[in-house]
């Protein structure tokens, strides 16, 4: 069901404008992804990854959602949407706060050993604690969180990081997709695995799978551009794109029964690793042979290091991994089809939309990030925790219905924004009229190639805004 609302575009608010453009871009990207590759997608639009990801959950399949301003609290708007939005989330739902951290925070808020996960097999009946409950805990701040969550093994600055997260702040960069994984692993879990014979059998199976995966993921087939004698006689040339340097065997021993018969759930894994044996890269030997060698020469010795006792153990999981890829090719992707590059090429076009300069853009983003960290809790909800009935659910429903959600982004883009110097662009500039892929196009005539203008009013705009602009004309 499509339920979208019209948004009055506030051209004096750069944040608002930026979100609208982001929404158009998302719409355009989703359309192309489906038209050209058959994939539907869901996206969230906001000023950082954290909020964008969370808001993307609001309208789930094949849709998109934008978190609208206000993003900061003022006298007029004492409740900014970022805070209101993030507050409704259960603490464990926040990306970056996993099972362990969430449990500690629940204990902190509930002030009691917390209904851990007594009866059930897995996460069980955890009690819901919301972001607002955590953030409004008296005396809580980055330092207190660091004391609670920090310690040996914890990442540097975990306290500040978590504090930022529950304030809707996230400055983590958008990363590049990898073309080759840093690690490949195969694992299986077992109800009961307690004899060496069984282990050997499973190690064989895992080894076969791993070998297949290595070939599928790390082997590059050279498409013989000119069929040499070699390629004719021995088939397509294959070569390793990356060589893992490490082989690792991991097990998860089943925790022994307590005297009272209860199960001590433990996910603890133990592992041993060794340097990757070279024969595993053989492209000539039969897999059977390689697997046999691997199991007896490498894996069984590793296994005996993990489990020196002949018996007595019972494994619930075995994992076999290759890691530490040393790449022949570049580890990181970058085929050229990324959005940053697209924006670079369309820079001239986009400049027309950029009614503020780069510095201001950064400020809009970081304003919330930095303010949020320091923001007094009273700004948002006051000191009293909202009760279920009177505050949260009601207000949140209101928001869900009226303030988020720009599914089918905006219906229009006012011409005031995008009219400007359109005389030197080609006449046929509708999206459909273009010949090539604007993303693929290299260099020169950037303006000409990536600029489109409306046949009705002559407004100039980037490709992804064309649809919205046309809709704007239609509803006039």
Partner DNA sequence: GTGGGGGAG
Partner DNA sequence: CGTTCTCCCCCAC
Interaction of residue 216 with DNA, rule CB under 7 A: no
CA distances from 159 to 104, 150, 267, 268 (A): 12, 7, 25, 25
Q: Is 187 in the site for DNA (CB under 7 A)?
A: yes
Inter-residue long-range contacts of 187-194, CB under 8 Å, 24+ positions, other chains counted: 187/250, 187/317, 187/318, 187/319, 187/320, 188/317, 188/318, 189/252, 189/316, 189/317, 190/315, 190/316, 190/317, 190/318, 191/316, 192/314, 193/314, 193/315, 193/316, 193/318, 194/311, 194/313, 194/314, 194/315
Kindly tell me which of 303 and 353 has the beta carbon lying closer to DNA: 303
Which tokens belong to 251?
Answer: 């097990």
- Spatial separation of the C-alpha atoms in residues 98 and 409, rounded to whole Å: 32
62/43 Cα distance (integer angstroms): 8
What does the per-residue mask of binding to DNA show for 51-90, with x meaning CB under 7 A? --x-------------------------------------
Q: Which stretch binds DNA (CB under 7 A): 22-30, 146-154, 342-350, 361-369?
A: 146-154
Torsion of CA 109, 113, 119, 124, to 10 degrees: 30
Radius of gyration of the chain (CA): 28
Structure tokens that stand for 235 in this block: 């088939």
**Choice from 42, 79, 231, 271 touching DNA (CB under 7 A):** 271
Closest approach of DNA to the CB of residue 222, in Å: 23
Contact residue for DNA among 63, 101, 207, 346 (CB under 7 A): 101
Least distance (Å) between residue 213 CB and DNA: 6
- Residue 373 within binding range of DNA, rule CB under 7 A: no
Report if residue 152 touches DNA, rule: CB under 7 A.
Answer: yes
99 scored as a contact of DNA (CB under 7 A): yes
Question: Interface with DNA includes 202 (CB under 7 A)?
Answer: no
Which helix (H) or strand (E) segment holds residue 47: the answer is none
Q: Is 80 or 164 the residue whose CB approaches DNA more closely?
A: 164
User: Hey, how many other C-beta atoms are within 10 angstroms of the C-beta on 461?
Assistant: 27
**If binding is defined by CB under 7 A, does position 270 make contact with DNA?**
yes
Q: How far is the CB of 346 from DNA (least distance, A)?
A: 27
Asked if residue 155 binds DNA (CB under 7 A), the reply is: yes
272 lines the binding site for DNA (CB under 7 A): yes
- Residue selected from 6, 11, 77, 154 as contacting DNA according to rule CB under 7 A: 154
Q: Tokens standing for 463?
A: 């490709």
Stretch that binds DNA, among 195-203, 234-242, 255-263, 315-323 (CB under 7 A): 315-323
The three-class DSSP label of residue 391 is: coil
Closest distance to DNA from the beta carbon of 94 (Å): 7
Q: For the chain, what is the total number of helices (H) and then of strands (E)? A: 18, 10
Least Å distance, CB 171 to DNA, is 13
Alpha-carbon span 47 to 155, nearest angstrom: 25
Closest C-alpha among 138, 136, 89, 84 to residue 382: 136
Counting contacts by CB under 7 A, is residue 419 touching DNA? no
- The candidate with the shortest Cα–Cα distance to 451, out of 338, 339, 354, 350, is 350
Note whether 182 binds DNA by CB under 7 A: yes
- 42 part of the interface to DNA, by CB under 7 A: no
Given 31, 42, 319, 419, the residue binding DNA (CB under 7 A): 319
Piece of 241-249, 357-365, 403-411, 431-439 that binds DNA (CB under 7 A): 241-249
Name residue, tokens 């998302």.
26
Rule CB under 7 A: say whether 145 interacts with DNA.
no
**Contact flag: residue 9 with DNA (CB under 7 A):** no
Nearer to DNA, 222 or 297 (CB): 297
Q: Which residues bind DNA (CB under 7 A)?
A: 53, 94-102, 120-123, 152-156, 178, 181-189, 209, 213, 217, 245-246, 248, 268-275, 305, 317, 319, 321, 324
């Amino acid at each position: 069901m499509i339920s979208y609302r019209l948004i009055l575009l506030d051209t004096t608010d750069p944040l608002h404008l930026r979100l609208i453009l982001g929404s158009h871009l998302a719409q355009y990207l989703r359309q192309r992804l489906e038209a050209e590759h058959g994939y539907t997608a869901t996206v969230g639009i906001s000023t950082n990854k954290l909020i964008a990801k969370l808001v993307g959950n609001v309208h789930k399949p094949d849709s998109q959602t934008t978190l609208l301003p206000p993003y900061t609290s003022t006298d007029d708007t004492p409740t900014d949407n970022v805070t209101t939005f993030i507050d409704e989330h259960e603490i464990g739902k926040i990306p970056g706060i996993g099972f362990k951290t969430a449990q500690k925070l629940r204990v902190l808020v509930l002030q009691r050993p917390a209904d851990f996960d007594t009866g059930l097999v897995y996460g069980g009946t955890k009690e819901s604690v919301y972001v607002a409950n955590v953030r409004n805990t008296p005396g809580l701040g980055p330092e207190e969180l660091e004391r609670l969550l920090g310690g040996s093994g914890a990442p540097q600055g975990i306290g500040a990081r978590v504090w930022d997260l529950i304030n809707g702040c996230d400055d983590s960069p958008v990363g590049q997709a990898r073309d080759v994984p840093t690690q490949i692993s195969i694992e299986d879990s077992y109800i009961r695995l307690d004899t060496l014979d069984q282990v050997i059998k499973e190690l064989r199976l895992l080894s076969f799978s791993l070998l297949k995966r290595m070939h599928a993921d790390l082997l590059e087939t050279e498409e013989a551009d000119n069929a040499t004698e070699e390629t004719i006689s021995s088939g397509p040339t294959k070569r390793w794109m990356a060589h893992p340097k490490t082989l690792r065997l991991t097990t998860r021993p089943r925790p022994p029964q307590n005297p009272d018969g209860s199960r001590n759930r433990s996910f603890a894994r133990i592992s041993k690793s060794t340097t990757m044996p070279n024969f595993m890269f053989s492209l000539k030997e039969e897999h059977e042979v390689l697997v046999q060698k691997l199991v007896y020469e490498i894996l069984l010795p590793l296994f005996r290091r993990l489990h020196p006792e002949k018996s007595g153990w019972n494994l619930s999981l075995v994992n076999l991994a290759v890691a530490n890829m040393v790449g022949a090719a570049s580890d990181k992707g970058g085929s050229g089809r990324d959005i940053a590059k697209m924006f670079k090429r369309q820079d001239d076009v986009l400049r027309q939309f950029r009614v503020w300069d780069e510095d201001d853009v950064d400020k809009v983003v970081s304003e919330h990030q930095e303010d949020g960290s320091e923001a007094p809790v009273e700004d948002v909800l006051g000191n009293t925790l909202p009760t279920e009935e009177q505050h949260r659910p009601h207000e949140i429903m209101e928001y869900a219905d009226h303030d988020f959600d720009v599914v089918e982004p905006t219906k229009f883009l006012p011409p005031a924004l995008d009219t400007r110097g359109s005389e030197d662009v080609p006449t046929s500039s509708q999206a459909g009229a273009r010949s090539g892929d604007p993303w693929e196009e290299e260099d020169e005539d950037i303006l000409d190639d990536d600029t489109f203008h409306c046949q009705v009013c002559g407004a100039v705009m980037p490709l992804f805004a064309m649809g919205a602009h046309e809709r704007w004309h239609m509803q006039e």
